[in-house]
Amino acid sequence: MRRIAFFGIILVAIMLFSGCATETKPITPNETPSNTAETPKPTEVPNTTPAPEQKPIDESKPDPQTNLWKADGIIAQNEYKNNKEFGNGRFTVYWSNDEEYLYMALKGQTSGWVSIGFEPTQAMKDADMIFGWVSGGTPSVLDIYSTGAFGPHPPDQQLGGTNDLLETGGVEANGFTIIELKRKLDTRDRYDKAFTKGQNINIIWGLGPSDSLDSPHNARGSGSIKLD
């Protein structure tokens, strides 16, 4: 009996020891392990590109009339802002200007030459002149200067100046000759008159029967035009 009781005590002790050594880990419901690392969101880089610069409007640009201008010998509608007739309609001046340039057409009732002179001091003397004609469909437009009251009026280059006509053109049709030209208001040539906006300009004009700088006029006159 003592032996049986002894083995019983040992068995109980073994069972108690086994129960203390085994720890039961509680189960957490709905816990699912994950091996996927979270992808970090890209860092937003602020836009440092400067906005396009707003350029101020240049009010010195040509008027709408001068934007239509073309030196082709054809006077289009609205091509010029101003016009003035002389000699009972035998000679007409068309013109526009902006801050820098003068745009002009001369229309004369002739199959020869047409001319205009700016700011003479006596008759033709000291006039800054434009002289042109059309021969065989080819226009010739000259920048000339009258050295005397009745000429001569050689081209500026022969006097040591320069030809300051930037664009020219012309047409002869239906008994009229038309020439067109563009020049700076102030060319800085001593043989050209310097113009300013709003200026009243005294002019002389003439028409000739042939296509020659040396042929005499058969119509002439004087007057004035005013720049914008």
d(CA 191, CA 193): 7
pLDDT tens for residues 101-120?
A: 999 999 999 999 999 999 99
Average pLDDT for 55-76: 66
Q: Which residues contact 103 (CB under 8 A, 6 or more apart)?
A: 65, 66, 69, 80, 95, 96, 97, 180, 181, 182
Q: For the whole model, what pTM was predicted?
A: 0.71
pLDDT confidence band for 216 (50 / 70 / 90): confident
Average pLDDT for 15-32: 46
Mind listing the domains of the chain with CATH numbers? Answer: 64-226 (2.60.40.1190)
pLDDT for 15 beyond 60:
no
**Beta-sheet strand order (sheet of 128-135):** 138-145, 128-135, 114-118, 200-207, 219-226
User: Which of 194, 176, 175 has its CA nearest to residue 186?
Assistant: 194
pLDDT confidence band for 65 (50 / 70 / 90): low
pLDDT confidence band for 54 (50 / 70 / 90): very low
- Residue percentage of the chain with pLDDT more than 90: 67
